[in-house]
Structure 1
Amino acid sequence: MKSIFPERIICLTEETTETIYLLGEQKRIIGISGFTVRPSKAKKEKKKICTFIDANIDEIISLNPDLVIGFSDIQADIAQKLIKRGVTVWINNYRDINGIFKMIGQVGMLVNQIEKSNNLIKEINTKLEVIKKKVKNFKIKPKIYFEEWYDPIITNIQWVSEIIELCGGENIFPASKKESLAKDRVIKNSEIIVEKNPDIILVSW
């Protein structure tokens, strides 16, 4: 019987590429995001077919994927174009750390590595617990500004805020973590950032 698991996967974002590599199933990946950093060898081994908001639809079709994996409302247009061309697309929409764990578990099911994905989740969770204990008695909580995108200025998603707090920091835009969509986390006036006077600035673009 032919395998029921996808064998020609395109990952539109880095996290699923990294997860599939960690599960030892990188042979299934045929295309990745040009923004992929981890693992470093992925960029050498796999074809780069997209950025975060743009993708070469014709090139993706030509690679004959049996699954394309993306993330969030920002990639909705890419997903729609591919679906209209008959491609199977899975858009993950996790917003918090628990959602990331669910994504890892779901990817594990997709590539037939449930046990490995469960072990990976446990390993990451153990590391998070160690960090929690280390920062528990920190006397100083640095004020953190996290910028997800620069034009327009978009501040952090919920899981970023959770990590900031888990590591002993204070998110200067705590209310933003309640907003699921990127458009609802736009900072319209950059002067607000200056006024909040963050101790540490992190950017992900």
Structure 2
Amino acid sequence: MTTTTLQGPQRIACLSTESVDVLYRLGAQDRIAGISGFTVYPPQAREEKTKISGFKTGKLERILDVQPDLVIGFSEVQRPLLDACLEAGVDVLWFNHRSLAGVSDMVRHLGQVVQRTEAAEALVADLEARQAQVAQAAQGLPFKPRVYFEEWHSPLICGIAWISEIIQLAGGIDVFANTAQRFPSRERAVTPEQVLAAEPQLIMGAWCGQRFEPEKVLAREGFPALNALMQDIPSSDILSPGPAAIERGLVHIFDAIARCAGTTPQALGFDA
């Protein structure tokens, strides 16, 4: 459900970081009335905007305090809070995309909502061009490394669908590509034995809300024998399905995959 006014919503509450990033990129930042406390991009948003929620937690009263005419959320985790906003008479917009194509669709949808369709198409073109550049460079990899991406450590949770897509776009083989398509996140749980059996050559991690610690991974029985390259990926650059996952996360992952394959992105003709 979206607003029906001719100008579009004027006071938008964003409960997830990617919508904040996109609205700034579209030149619609003046319409943002409140943001998630987990917002990272753009950095100035944390200084300029009122923080009204976490990602998994939020109070309806704090959201209503900024008098929003639209509340934007992401994933089934935020759906109950959005339903509460609806019951309070506030329009909501819910995204639940899990793919890179979904990122483009989200950007276009927000462009329509704030009447910045040309800016949205330009942003989509930039994001898709970056994907094409990485995919082209990845064709020159000496081989495709086997990759395990860890999103959480207790229990082990493998990377979500868009991360799996990024790994494959960047020339890697996601050893849990099928599991990555499952949701909610608990359905992506894997065992240490399954990881060992998959024999990854590259282990990357972004522990949601925590720093990935390779030494803890290597403390697991059998993991040192994998002799896998270990790489931390900043959570803010990969765990939200927005521009940052493509402009930053994809670049980080391609760099790690290239190094695992014995080369560099630059040697393959890619310059971030």
Instruction: Tell whether the structures are fold-level matches, with TM greater than 0.5.
Output: yes
Alignment of 1:193 with 2:195, yes or no, is yes
Pairwise CA distance, 1:139: 1.5
Shift of 1:36: 1.2
- CA offsets, 1:42-74, max 9 Å, x none? 111111121211012111111110011011112
- Distance in 1, matches of 2:138 and 2:19, equals 29
User: Which residue in the other structure is 1:38 paired with?
Assistant: 41
Amino acid at match of 1:185: R
Partner secondary structure for residue 21 of structure 1? helix
Unaligned stretches of 5+ residues in structure 2: 209-272
Match for residue 17 of structure 2 among 6, 9, 14? 14
Which structure 1 segments of 5+ residues have no match?
A: none
Residue range with higher mean Cα deviation, 60-69 or 135-144: 135-144
Note the alpha carbon deviations across 1:13-38, whole angstroms, 9 max, x for none: 11111001111110111111111111
* Residue 82 (structure 1) aligned with residue 85 (structure 2): yes
Distance 1:49 1:190 in 2: 38
103-112 vs 53-62, which moves further: 53-62
Contact 2:7 2:115 in 1 (8 A): no
Task: After superposing the two structures, state which structure 1 stretch, 163-172 or 76-85, moved more.
Answer: 76-85
Between the aligned residues of both structures, percent identity stands at: 34
CA distance in 2, matches of 1:149, 1:70: 22
Say whether residues 1:172 and 2:175 are aligned partners: yes
Contact persistence 2:75–2:96 (CA under 8 A): yes
- Report the AA paired with residue 163 of structure 1: I
- Indicate the SS of the match to 2:13: strand
Q: Residues 25 and 140 from structure 1, CA distance in 2 versus in 1: closer, same or farther, beyond 3 angstroms? A: same
Q: Which residue of 1 aligns with 2:65?
A: 62
CA distance in 2: counterparts of 1:82 and 1:186, whole angstroms = 32
Q: Counterpart in 2 of 1:127? A: 130
Over 3 Å counting, the alpha-carbon distance change for 1:122 and 1:74 in structure 2 is same
Aligned residue type for 1:24: G
CA distance in 2, matches of 1:3, 1:150: 47
Q: CA deviation at 1:127?
A: 1.3
